[in-house]
Amino acid sequence: MTNTKLITAIDVGTTKVCVLVAELLDNHDYEILGVGVAPSKGLRRGVVVNMEEAQTSIREAVEAAERSAGYEIDSAFVSIAGAHIDAINSHGVVGISGDSIITQDDIDRALDAARAIVIPHNREVLHIIPRNFIVDGQEGIRMPLGMHGFRLEVEAHIITAASTTVKNLSQCIEDAGVVVEQFVLNPLAASEASLTDTERDLGVVSCDVGGGTMDVAIFIEGNVWHTAVLPVGGNNITADVSHGLRLPAAAAEEVKIAHGHACTQEVDSSEVFRVEPFGHDQPIEMSRSKLADVVEARAEEIFDLLLKEIKRSGYDSLLPAGVVLTGGTSRLAGFRQLATGSLGLPVRVSEPSDLHGLVDQLQGPEFATSVGLLNWAARESGTFHGVSINGHSENGHYKTGAGSSQKMWGVIKDWAKRLTP
């Protein structure tokens, strides 16, 4: 039991907090031992708005996962999203030292050169992701390690977050007794469990539509070229249903899931369901087509925002693999069909597959981020597909300091506790 190597993922969303505990196996895989899910409170659109409520939700999910797994959780990889996320593309150049063979140190120096940009004091770097390497003018190199050359250049995608938001979320996690191993941007985590290598190479949009945010990542030639977090999601649809049908928010959510449809033309006008709006003492019949009108209008707006973001990136003509949808909102009937028509791209809904262990609760696109975090954690531990080499992994992820200082502080606190009688 003492030799068991565990990894933990905490997906902190607007609607739920999901904690997964897994054991790393020798065959480059993992087995899920524990699952903990709790309703999310105190968070809105990826940002902590009530510390006490957020801490309680996270603690409930952590404790449920610990009971399920039979292990205590010490540290975890944590998802992060929200409108405070920003990204910028940067360029770094270095000369090759020594015998002109590119080493990991040369790659790290090139990435450090790309990182040497002015970042406001109230922001911190989450990820530095190499998009493309150039050796002596030769472009399109994915991994220059071991190559000969005199000049190494890198095109990097740098993702930053608001420092206060990161600290607030980190504090909530630590109050649950868990040290933050690393923060991982939501769409990057979701893509780990939803995209194929072929899609990444051809050009694809990973779109995680959650309750409060829509998290977007564009992959081209195997690497991330653009990321964005849009402040819209399933809760906007629920709010419209609540206003349109004059229902309490909880009832509107139930109606949306049970009877909602994003394509009005596919709903029979004679279909009805029973609901009790404000001002009525008992349930009345409501037309499903009327509900579909409300849902479709907001869903169209969501996809219009997504299309604008794709065009703003400048890569809209480089996406033959289309769009891959994840997140709980993508379960909505007619959502994929509407996306195909609105975006003019092929669209599919993805959910985690090829899982081992306690996987019964993880069937659905809403768990893509949680499972993707486990994939990320397994790779960073050096046992998953794409072994990490000094922080730089084969699929182009370069982890940086967000979370590392919290981890060190947690180690110090644990060491101090052991010294205390």
Give yes or no for residue 390 having a pLDDT over 60. Answer: no
Average pLDDT over all residues of the chain: 87
**CA pair distance 154, 91, nearest whole angstrom:** 6
CA separation for the pair 213, 191 (Å, rounded): 16
CB 192 within 8 A of CB 208: no
Res 60 pLDDT > 50: yes
In the Cβ-directed half-sphere of 105, how many Cα atoms lie within 13 Å?
Answer: 6
Q: What is the mean pLDDT of residues 49-69?
A: 95
Other beta carbons within 10 Å of 414: 11
Residue 122 clears pLDDT 50, i.e. is over it: yes
* Rounded to 5°, angle at Cα 400 from 396 and 405: 155
Q: Please, which pLDDT band fits residue 144 given cuts at 50, 70 and 90?
A: very high
Q: What is the pTM of this model?
A: 0.86
Class of domain 235-294: alpha beta
Among the listed residues 26, 29, 16, 2, the one whose alpha carbon sits nearest the alpha carbon of residue 357: 29
pLDDT band at 189 (very low <50, low <70, confident <90, very high): very high
Q: Token match 């809209």: residue?
A: 316
pLDDT at 149 over 80: yes
* Same fold flag, 86-162 and 235-294: no
Residues 339, 349 contacting (CB under 8 angstroms): no
Nearest to 188, CA basis, from 202, 201, 207, 169: 207
Q: Of 333, 336, 369, 337, whose CA–CA distance to 351 is shortest?
A: 369
Give per-residue pLDDT as tens, 357-386: 888 888 899 999 999 999 999 988 764 433
Q: CB–CB of 14/46 below 8 Å?
A: yes
Indicate the SS3 state at residue 336. helix
Q: How far is it, in rounded angstroms, from Cα 240 to Cα 244?
A: 6
Tell me the two tokens of residue 190: 């979701």
Q: Are the C-beta atoms of 147 and 33 separated by less than 8 Å? A: no
Residue 195's nearest CA partner among 312, 20, 380, 368 is 368
Q: Is the pLDDT of residue 70 over 60?
A: yes
Cα distance between residue 380 and residue 284, in whole Å:
55
The first and second tokens of residue 137, run together, are: 């003018």
Model confidence at 200: pLDDT above 50? yes
Domain-wise residue ranges, the chain: 86-162, 235-294
Residue 52's SS3 state is: helix
Cα dihedral 41, 46, 47, 48 in deg (nearest 10): 30
User: CA-CA distance, 38 to 68, in Å (whole number)?
Assistant: 13
The reported pLDDT for the residue numbered 99 is 79
Phi then psi for residue 16, to 5 deg, are -150, 155
Classify domain 86-162 at the CATH topology level. Dna Ligase; domain 1 (3.30.1490)
The rounded Cα 103 to chain-centroid distance in angstroms is 31
CA distance 58 to 53: 9
pLDDT grade, residue 403 (50/70/90)? Answer: very low
- Token couple for 38: 């709790």
Tokens of 381: 């531990």
